[in-house]
Amino acid sequence: MIEHLYIHIPFCRKKCPYCNFISYADKENLIEEYVTALTLSSQSSDFPLPLGEGLRVRAKTIYFGGGTPSLLTPNQLKTILSPIPYILTPEISLETNPATADFEKLHEFRKLGVNRLSIGAQSFNNRHLKTLGRIHSAKDIHKIFDDARKAGFENIGIDLMYALPGQTFEEFKKDIQEILRLDPEHISLYNLEVEKNSAFGSRLTALGLRFPDNDTEADMFEHAIESFAKAGYKHYEISNFAKKDCECFHNLAYWLNKNYLGIGVGAHSHVDGRRFSNTESVEKYIGCGCATGIDRRKQVDVSSPASRETIFMGLRLLDGIPKDKFQGFEKEVEELKQQGLLEETSTNIKLTKKGLFLANLVFEKFV
Residues in binding contact with ligand SF4, number by CB under 6 A = 11
In the complex, minimum distance from the CB of residue 215 to ligand SF4, in angstroms, rounded to a whole number: 27
In the complex, minimum distance from the CB of residue 325 to ligand SF4, in angstroms, rounded to a whole number: 32
Rounded CA separation 180/161 (Å):
14
Q: Which is nearer to ligand SF4, 61 or 68 (CB)?
A: 68
Site for ligand SF4 in 80-109 (CB under 6 A): 97
42 forms part of the interface with ligand SF4 (CB under 6 A): no
Q: What is the number of other CB atoms lying within 10 angstroms of the CB of residue 300?
A: 13
Q: Which is nearer to ligand SF4, 65 or 289 (CB)?
A: 65
Rounded CA separation 357/363 (Å):
12
> In this chain, which of 41, 66, 257, 289 binds ligand SF4, going by CB under 6 A?
66
Instruction: Please give the order of strands across the beta sheet that includes 348-351.
Output: 321-322, 348-351, 342-344
31 forms part of the interface with ligand SF4 (CB under 6 A): no
Rounded CA separation 232/244 (Å):
8
68 forms part of the interface with ligand SF4 (CB under 6 A): yes
Instruction: Please give the order of strands across the beta sheet that includes 268-271.
Output: 268-271, 274-278, 294-301
In the complex, minimum distance from the CB of residue 22 to ligand SF4, in angstroms, rounded to a whole number: 8
Given a contact cutoff of 8 angstroms between Cβ atoms, the answer to whether 98 and 128 are in contact is no
Q: Which is nearer to ligand SF4, 21 or 103 (CB)?
A: 21
Longest Cα separation, the chain: 58
> In this chain, which of 21, 103, 190, 329 binds ligand SF4, going by CB under 6 A?
21
Q: What angle do CA 138, 142, 146 make, to 5 degrees?
A: 165
Cis ω on the peptide bond leading into residue 264 (within 30° of 0)?
A: no
Binding mask of the shown chain, residues 106 to 145, with x at each position contacting ligand SF4 by CB under 6 A: --------------x-------------------------
> In this chain, which of 2, 7, 9, 12 binds ligand SF4, going by CB under 6 A?
12
> In this chain, which of 6, 23, 117, 247 binds ligand SF4, going by CB under 6 A?
23
Segment interacting with ligand SF4, rule: CB under 6 A, options 11-19, 207-215, 312-320, 336-344 = 11-19
The closest of 169, 165, 161 to 200, measured between CA atoms, is 165
